[in-house]
A and B are shown apart, each in its own frame.
Chain A
């Protein structure tokens, strides 16, 4: 199979899609999927309610139903709703009862009331923006959040560190002190991996003797030492150190500026790298999520946005520490994407020696045609548009947008919705296919190919510096649905023209509800699909995997 060159192909797809939408060739899909099994109940009202009830969700959330001798819907009807259990992920029994006094007084099953009365009356099935408001209700200033030691590790003195390092560096061509990530092994280098013992969100100003850091050498855990002792050990080994010495900072959360400066002064590295794995150099919220709920683009610290943000005050302190670090150390700044670097440059004026983009994974330009055995019109019964979300069910990753797509379009036969995630992030849910992932971006790509996914929703709510799901999806021949503020995924859509961008989650949901997603997938389906290899840059990849 062959087709037009890649660049022409994507432009033809976009043009065909836009023409199809302009001419109104695709309508909002209406056909509902036939229920997998019809359930009949003695109580006719339950029979009517059954097609709306999420049996898989209810069974997962309420495992005790299994002992009741009832099925899930009966259990909800008799025991579940009085205990404020929910019949689906999108209906909040407690909210519905508390906001509708007449339903509460009636004693009716609230889900039944909503489906057959409340919905037509315009009543809300759950608290508006409930997920975000739950976050807002529980916000605490970052400095007040507890930070705990991540493990019970042996304490190391400066001498102990020096004893462990001395024989290793004698043979080495170089030494790397890598803070904040699992650093890769450079050939001939000894790598000391460091991470803050107590975690926490903030870049701290505590002195080096108080700052505690976990150490590992070439992947083997060593123990815990103060930054002052690490500096003392490195200073003592100065004469024996190899000529090539580097320091790499992958993250600032939990670190101490004075600790890093002390270690740098002891090591006297000839190379200093600062990886833009996140935006801790711009704000105490390293995802630039104002109040943990909204993308903020790092406005001026004295802005109204920072005034109302729980991170606003901590940000001002953190920026002073960051300023001190960058003024003291001439960093080469490495960004995993152009969008991350552009954001960082726009929002900060930190001194640095150089700045460049180093993507941890790249698409190989030599793509090969994907095998296709499917025949028939995409979107019709039996051949739905396959849509996937990859990653955890978090607000930052964009789950709320996908959950709304699931809520509004899950019943439609035009779409088949998939969740690709590690096992602990998967939850059974009506109309959702769960796919467990593990391992590399290449393995994810292969799974996306195997499941014949058409569109991947990469609607991150933050300006993600690098999106592995987006790159794997593109390699699998899928196109992306992203938000303008999604960072790297948005950059990929814009530069490669492989997908569609939206101002917010609501617009993205409307893309599916109104049938434009169907139009897009169908127009795209007229052209051959290609699968690309992924080339990993080990050094950059290890920096970004952490983010």
Chain B
């Protein structure tokens, strides 16, 4: 059984649905799993886009509310990936692929899938070719140096001893720390994977330029739409999947006069609008139970202090004994 999974909040639902529909069309035999890192939405119709939806809470049990309180939304979506992988393996997945909800699939991924017959772990580097120009180096290699060699919007893992060991190690690391914290050398779950080729066997860096095209590698990936209707990368590699993560202007800088990247973006905006996702609400874990916003400072204070975690196992709960009351008394600047 081949399983593709993704993790998202309600705000990212339109992206996740677009990914799921692309996978369903291009990889019809795969089982699709969505990991919802949010409260439930009143409209449940979207669930049918997935074969199974796992509530992230179910992966953590009683520890969940304390755990998720320690994370911003993007951090939480990355943090659950390791435990979700362990769950999928336990349920019988032979091969598992994580794809971030910002990704859209444009071609059959069978060739990618067969790479896991040889490899146990399949990674996509941010860059496959060096950049020469100083600006391009800063933008691209610079990004990889700061955030990790591999982009964890994609990860393929085979359910063998190596894959299981990776899942165990990864889930442990993410339980401990999955934050954006440059001082600690952390960027979500990504920088851990700089270590993976050294720590584990049979790790393959996927060198197909048609895989994981994104703003951060457009400087070395020339996208075009050929007369025969194929979308090609560097003149001959079919575009397999594209990451539409917010690009901070990199697409404009590196698409140059080529229209294809802009056509893909126009397609993606239309797909999001037509996804049928219910209107986005605020993140359920962005507020205390009384609706007051949880500040970043409050999260950081809580996650850094095991004593607070032990004293307030459900930090969202309100009342005279709650964490919020504690903050109001001791650190009103964080409320």
Contact = CB atoms under 8 A, between A and B. Distances in A.
B227 A308 contact: no
B190 to A, nearest CB: 28
Contacts, number: 72
B239 interface: yes
23 contacts: A128-B256, A129-B259, A132-B259, A132-B262, A141-B270, A291-B263, A291-B266, A293-B263, A294-B263, A296-B225, A296-B229, A299-B227, A300-B229, A303-B229, A303-B230, A304-B229, A306-B229, A307-B106, A308-B106, A308-B263, A308-B264, A309-B267, A310-B267
Contact of B231 (A128, A291, A304): A304
A133 B262 contact: yes
Contact of A136 (B226, B227, B249, B263): B263
A506 interface: yes
A304 B256 contact: no
Given A132-B259, A290-B225, A304 B266 contact: no
List the 3 closest pairs (A to B, CB-CB), nearest first.
Answer: A303-B229, A299-B229, A308-B267
B228 interface: yes
Contact of A304 (B239, B258, B259): B239
Contacts of A300: 228-229
A172 B103 CA distance: 65
A297 interface: yes
Interface in B262-309: 262-267, 270
A305 interface: yes
A308 B255 contact: no
B228 A303 contact: yes
How many chain B residues sit at the interface, stated as a range, is 20 to 34
A449 to B, nearest CB: 36
B275 to A, nearest CB: 14
Contact of B225 (A128, A132, A137, A294): A294
B107 A304 contact: yes
Contacts of B264: 308
Contacts of B107: 304
Contacts of A127: 252
Contacts of B227: 296-297, 299
A114 to B, nearest CB: 17
B225 A310 contact: no
Contacts of B265: 136
A452 to B, nearest CB: 33
Interface string A92-123: 00000001000000000000000000000000
Contacts of A308: 106, 225, 231, 263-264, 266-267
Interface in A129-188: 129, 132-133, 136-137, 139, 141
Contacts of B225: 290, 294, 296, 304-305, 308
Interface string B230-265: 110000001100000000010010011111001111
